[in-house]
């Protein structure tokens, strides 16, 4: 059985973001192009108890986002197992919001009031990517490294 996901907006093709993430995981590709692709992409973010689904890890609040309904369904199936359902069984329907990545990074993350980033496709161990709250990804005012100096001058990216 497949997990049920329900949204209210049309979903764009997340293939370009998935491709950029695969490049970076392979040690190639441009980090700036990856962030740019996230900013352009439509990201599905499931709801949890009336708010966006987040998880805390390493002192960072991570908004869990997905590149398409299939990636969200894999996450829903993993959550069903954690919640006690059989493998492959959906424990509930999952509603989600669709955000442009730029809105997540520029508006949602700063509004959280705590260090926060975006975790994309977290149910895909070979395809997940974290976008931490650092300069070059989130606005400087909420970046955890905004005051950090980089050896040789400049700022961290």
* 144: in domain: no
* 82: in domain: yes
Give residue-wise pLDDT tens across range 77-86: 988 777 665 6
User: 96 - beta bridge partners?
Assistant: 46
Q: Give the chain's mean pLDDT.
A: 85
Residue span of the structural domain in which 10 resides: 4-138
pLDDT given at position 88: 55
Rounded Cα distance between 41 and 121, Å, is: 13
Give residue-wise pLDDT tens across range 100-148: 999 999 999 999 999 999 999 999 988 999 999 999 999 999 999 988 6
Domain count of the fold of the chain: 1
CA distance to 36, 73, 80, 124, per residue, from 16 (Å): 11, 19, 28, 16
Task: Please check whether residue 117 is in contact with residue 57, taking contact to mean a CB–CB distance below 8 angstroms.
Answer: no
pTM: 0.81
* 151: in domain: no
State the residue for tokens 């006690």: 84
* 156: in domain: no
């Amino acid at each position: 059985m497949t997990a049920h996901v329900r949204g209210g907006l049309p979903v764009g093709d997340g293939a370009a973001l998935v491709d950029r993430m695969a490049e970076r995981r392979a040690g190639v590709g441009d980090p700036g192009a990856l962030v740019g692709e996230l900013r352009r992409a439509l990201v599905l973010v499931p709801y949890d108890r009336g708010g966006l689904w987040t998880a805390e890890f390493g002192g960072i609040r991570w908004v869990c986002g997905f590149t398409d309904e299939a990636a969200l369904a894999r996450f829903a199936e993993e959550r069903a197992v954690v919640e006690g359902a059989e493998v492959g069984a959906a424990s509930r329907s999952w509603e989600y919001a669709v955000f442009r990545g730029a809105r997540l990074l520029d508006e949602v993350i700063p509004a959280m009031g705590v260090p926060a980033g975006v975790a994309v496709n977290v149910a895909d161990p070979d395809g997940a990517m974290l976008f931490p709250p650092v300069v070059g990804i989130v606005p400087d005012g909420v970046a955890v490294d905004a005051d950090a100096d980089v050896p040789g001058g400049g700022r961290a990216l």
